[in-house]
A and B are shown apart, each in its own frame.
Chain A
Amino acid sequence: MILHPGIIALVIGSIILLVMLLFSAFLGLLIIVRWDMESSSAYQLSLERKTYLISSVMSFVLSFEVLSIFLFIYTVDDLHRQFVGAMCATGSLNANPVGWYLLYLKIFLFFLSALWIGINHVDQRTEGFPLVRLKYTLLIIMAPLVAAEVYLMLRYFLNLNPDIITSCCGALFSGEGQGLASSLSSLPARPMEYALFLTAGLYILICIVSLRVRKSLFRYLVGLMSTVFFIVSIMAVVSFISLYFYELPTHHCPFDILQGFYHYVGYPLYGSLFGASVLGMLVGVLEILGHRFRDNTEIEHYQRTWTFFSLILTGIFLLITIYPMVFSSFTLEGY
C-alpha cells in the first residue's frame, strides 16, 4: 500500500459516499415496495418526505462520483513515478491490472450517475413524481456497482507494490502487440480521421435538426448518435488525436495528454467529450421516458437546452482536436 494523499482522499471519500448510497438504496427499496401515489396515509407521506432526503443525498453522492473519476486519473498519473518502467497512468494501472477494471467501472458509473442526476432534475420539477420507481430501481442497481467500485479500489491500492516492474504506454499502445489497446492503436489514422469527422458532423447535424424540427425521431437519434460519437471519439483519441499532441507518429497513449508537459490538455478534451455525450444520451433517455409525463412542454424545454449544450461541448472537443492538426508542424501524411 502506498500512503499517498490522493489515495487517502479517494478511499475515505468513496467509503463515505458508499455508506450514504447504501442508506439511500435501502430507503429506495422501501419506496419502490410501498409507494402508492393515490394513498393519503401517514406512511405514504413519510415516504414522500424521504424522497427529499434521497434526492439530496444522491445529487451530492453522484456529483462527487463524477468528480472522483478525474481525481482517480490524476492520482494514478501522479503515482507513475514510483514504478520502474512507468511513464504515465498506463504504467500505474499495469502495476496492478485490477486498476483497468476499476477505470472501466468508473467510466460506466460516471455515465450512470450523470444520467441519474439529469433524470432526477427533471422529475423533481414536474408534478406527481412520474419517475420515482424508475429512479429508485436505478439506484438499487447502482448501489452494488459502487460497492464493487470501492472494493476494486481497495484491492488496487492495497496491492500496489512499488517494486513491480511495469510496462509503459509505449509498449501497450503500440501497433504490434495483442489485445484491445494495440488494436485501437493500429487503427489506420486517415480512415479514423474521416470516421471521427463524419460522426461528429452527423451528430451536429442531427442536434441542429432536432432543435428545429420537433419530432421525437430526431431526439432518439441524438441519444443514439451521442453514444456512437463517444465510442468513435475514444477510438480516435488513441488512433490519431494523441499523435498530434505528442508530435510522434508512434505514441498512442490516451493518458500522457493528461500530464503537465502537454499543458493538461487531456482534461478539457475528455471533459468536453464526456459532457457532450452524457447530455446527448440524456436527451434520448428522456424521449424514451416521455410518455410517463402528463405535460411534455417542460420535458421538451429540457431536451432543447441539453441538446444545445451538447452541441457547444462537441464544438469545444472538435476545436481542441483540430487545433494541433492545423497549427502544429506535425503531419501524418506518410502514415
Chain B
Amino acid sequence: MRKHLKILEYALSSLWRRKFKSLGIIAVFSLIIFTLSSILLLTYAFKREAMEVLRGAPELIVQRISAGRHEMIPSWYGKRIQEIPGVGMVIPRYWGYYYDPSTGGNYTVMAAAGRGDRKLEMLSGKYPPAGGEVVVGKGVAESRFLSEGSRIPIKGSDGQVRNFIVAGIFTDESSLLTNDLIIMSLMDFRDVFKTGNERATDLVVQVFNPDEVENVARKIREIFPDTRPITRKEILRTYDTLFDWRSGMVLTMFGGALLAFIILAWDKAAGLSAEERHEIGILKAIGWETSDIMELRFWEGFVTSSVSFLTGLIGGYLHIFFFGASIFAPALKGWSVIFPSFRLLPYLNPYQVVVLMFLTVIPYMAATIFPSWKAAITDPDVVMRG
C-alpha cells in the first residue's frame, strides 16, 4: 500500500514538473468533458421539466382528424363520450395559434372556459378575463412591452383588428407552457377565430380509473372513427424518446471532437522528450521495475483524467444550472421566437456520471496504455547512452 502511495506521489511531482504539458492536456480534456456533460445534463433537465409539466396534463385528450389533419371537434361528440362507463367530465378546450407580425412571434391563444382549474400564479391583475379583456403570459408581455391596462391589437380571421385590454399578466409553475400564452373569454375567442358556436379545438376526457384509460380510448375510436384519442402516457413516451434522440444526435456530432482529442492524447503520450526517456532510464537503473513504471504512468493518467473529469463536470453543471445553458440550449430546446428564459432545476445522478465516464475516460485510457507501455520497457542503458 505504502509503495502505491509513493508512486502516486512521484506521479504528482512529475506532472507538476511538466506543468505546461500536463495543463494543456487537462485543459483540452476538461473542455471535451464540459461539452459532453452539458449536453447530458441539459437533456436530463429538459426531460424532467417536460415530465413535471405533463404531470398536470389531462389523462386523455380527444382530437378530431379530417383528411389526416387536426380539425375542430363538434361539441356533441363530448356528450356521447360522456355516456361511456367510467368517464367523468368531458371538457371542451378552445385554443389556437396567432402569428403576431410586429414581433414575429407565434402566440398560443386560449379561451378561459376550457382551461379547467389548473393553478395559475398571477403576477398582477385578475383572472379570468371578461369580454374584451385578455390575460397574457410573461413572455408576451415582455416582447410587446405590455403592462396591466395596456392594449394589445389582435387581427381576427375576418381581417379586422380588435383591441384587447390586458387584464393581467401571469406565470405558471413552469414557464415553458405559459410564456407565450394569451387567454381571452370564450365569446372573444369565437369572434376572433370565427370557429362557430358548436365547435371546440379538442376534448379533455376525465377517466376515473387510470387503468381504464386505454379501454376508454379504444371505445372512443370505435364510436367516432374520425377521432384520435391521445393518452398522457403516449405524450410522455414521445417526449422521452425525443429528448434521448436529440441528446444522442448532439453527442454523436461531438464524437469527432472526442476522436481528435484521443489522437492528441495518444500523440502526447507517445512522443516522449529526450528528458523523459532519460528519467525512465534512471528510474529503471536505480531499481524500478517495468510494472512500477507502468503504474507510474497509470497514476499520471488517473490524475489527469480525474482532474479533467471533475473540472469538466462541475463546469458543465454550472453552465447548465446557473448560466441557463447559454451555449447549447438553442440546439436542444427546439425553435421559437419568444422562448422563456428559465432556470432549470439542478439534477445530477450517478448514471449520468457513469455514462460520461464511458464516453470520455475509457477512450483516453485506451489511447494512453500502449504508448506508456512502450516507454516503460525501454532499457536503461539504451536511454542513458543517449
Size range of the interface on A? 20 to 34
For the complex, give the distance between the alpha carbons of A8 and B255 in Å: 10
* Residue pair B248, A124 in contact (C-beta under 8 Å): no
* Residue pair B355, A5 in contact (C-beta under 8 Å): yes
Residues from 154 to 200 in A contacting B, C-beta threshold 8 Å: 162
Chain A residue at minimum C-beta to C-beta distance from B295:
A56
* Residue pair B355, A56 in contact (C-beta under 8 Å): no
14 contacts between A and B (CB under 8 A): A3-B248, A5-B247, A5-B248, A5-B355, A7-B248, A8-B251, A8-B252, A8-B359, A9-B355, A10-B358, A20-B366, A56-B294, A56-B373, A60-B369
* Secondary structure type dominating chain B contacts: helix
Chain B residue at minimum C-beta to C-beta distance from A7:
B248
Choose one: B291, B363, B376; the contact of A16 (CB below 8 Å).
B363
Size range of the interface on B? 20 to 34
Does B313 have its Cβ within 8 Å of any Cβ on chain A? no
Does A294 have its Cβ within 8 Å of any Cβ on chain B? no
* Residue pair B248, A4 in contact (C-beta under 8 Å): yes
Please name all residues of chain A whose beta carbon is closer than 8 Å to the beta carbon of B245 when the two chains form the complex: 2-3
* Residue pair A60, B365 in contact (C-beta under 8 Å): yes
For the complex, give the distance between the alpha carbons of A8 and B363 in Å: 13
Does B174 have its Cβ within 8 Å of any Cβ on chain A? no
Given A17-B362, A52-B294, A74-B351, are A5 and B241 also a contact pair (CB < 8 Å)?
A: no
For the complex, give the distance between the alpha carbons of A13 and B355 in Å: 10
Digitize A70-81: 1 where CB-to-B-CB distance is under 8 Å, 0 elsewhere.
110010001001
* Residue pair B248, A13 in contact (C-beta under 8 Å): no
* Residue pair A3, B249 in contact (C-beta under 8 Å): yes
Residues from 313 to 358 in B contacting A, C-beta threshold 8 Å: 351, 354-356, 358
Please name all residues of chain A whose beta carbon is closer than 8 Å to the beta carbon of B291 when the two chains form the complex: 52, 124
* Residue pair A71, B355 in contact (C-beta under 8 Å): yes
Digitize B54-73: 1 where CB-to-A-CB distance is under 8 Å, 0 elsewhere.
00000000000000000000
Question: Which B residues contact A (CB, under 8 angstroms)?
Answer: 39-40, 43, 236-237, 240-241, 244-245, 247-249, 251-252, 255, 290-291, 294, 298, 351, 354-356, 358-359, 362-363, 365-366, 369-370, 373, 376-377
Expressed in whole angstroms, the minimum distance between the Cβ of A162 and any Cβ of chain B is 6
For the complex, give the distance between the alpha carbons of A271 and B363 in Å: 26
Expressed in whole angstroms, the minimum distance between the Cβ of A167 and any Cβ of chain B is 15
Digitize A231-274: 1 where CB-to-B-CB distance is under 8 Å, 0 elsewhere.
00000000000000000000000000000000000000000000
For the complex, give the distance between the alpha carbons of A141 and B363 in Å: 24
For the complex, give the distance between the alpha carbons of A71 and B255 in Å: 20
* Residue pair B369, A57 in contact (C-beta under 8 Å): yes
Please name all residues of chain A whose beta carbon is closer than 8 Å to the beta carbon of B237 when the two chains form the complex: 81-82, 84, 162
Expressed in whole angstroms, the minimum distance between the Cβ of B218 and any Cβ of chain A is 13
Does A64 have its Cβ within 8 Å of any Cβ on chain B? yes
Expressed in whole angstroms, the minimum distance between the Cβ of A73 and any Cβ of chain B is 11
For the complex, give the distance between the alpha carbons of A20 and B373 in Å: 14
Question: Which A residues contact B (CB, under 8 angstroms)?
Answer: 2-10, 12-13, 16-17, 20, 49, 52-53, 56-57, 60, 64, 67-68, 70-71, 74, 78, 81-82, 84, 124, 162
For the complex, give the distance between the alpha carbons of A21 and B163 in Å: 73
* Residue pair A8, B248 in contact (C-beta under 8 Å): yes
Given A3-B244, A5-B355, are A12 and B363 also a contact pair (CB < 8 Å)?
A: yes
Please name all residues of chain A whose beta carbon is closer than 8 Å to the beta carbon of B244 when the two chains form the complex: 2-5, 82
Please name all residues of chain A whose beta carbon is closer than 8 Å to the beta carbon of B40 when the two chains form the complex: 5
For the complex, give the distance between the alpha carbons of A85 and B168 in Å: 44
Choose one: B241, B294, B359; the contact of A2 (CB below 8 Å).
B241
For the complex, give the distance between the alpha carbons of A74 and B356 in Å: 14
For the complex, give the distance between the alpha carbons of A16 and B358 in Å: 10
Of A2, A5, A53, A162, the most chain B CB neighbours within 10 A belong to A5
Chain B residue at minimum C-beta to C-beta distance from A77:
B351
Expressed in whole angstroms, the minimum distance between the Cβ of B332 and any Cβ of chain A is 12
* Residue pair A13, B362 in contact (C-beta under 8 Å): yes
For the complex, give the distance between the alpha carbons of A57 and B371 in Å: 12
For the complex, give the distance between the alpha carbons of A190 and B240 in Å: 41
Please name all residues of chain A whose beta carbon is closer than 8 Å to the beta carbon of B358 when the two chains form the complex: 9-10, 12-13, 64, 68, 71
* Residue pair A16, B359 in contact (C-beta under 8 Å): no
Please name all residues of chain A whose beta carbon is closer than 8 Å to the beta carbon of B362 when the two chains form the complex: 12-13, 16-17, 64
Chain A residue at minimum C-beta to C-beta distance from B240:
A81
For the complex, give the distance between the alpha carbons of A52 and B294 in Å: 8
Please name all residues of chain A whose beta carbon is closer than 8 Å to the beta carbon of B366 when the two chains form the complex: 16-17, 20, 60
Chain B residue at minimum C-beta to C-beta distance from A23:
B370
* Residue pair B240, A82 in contact (C-beta under 8 Å): yes
For the complex, give the distance between the alpha carbons of A64 and B251 in Å: 21
Expressed in whole angstroms, the minimum distance between the Cβ of B167 and any Cβ of chain A is 40
Expressed in whole angstroms, the minimum distance between the Cβ of B290 and any Cβ of chain A is 5
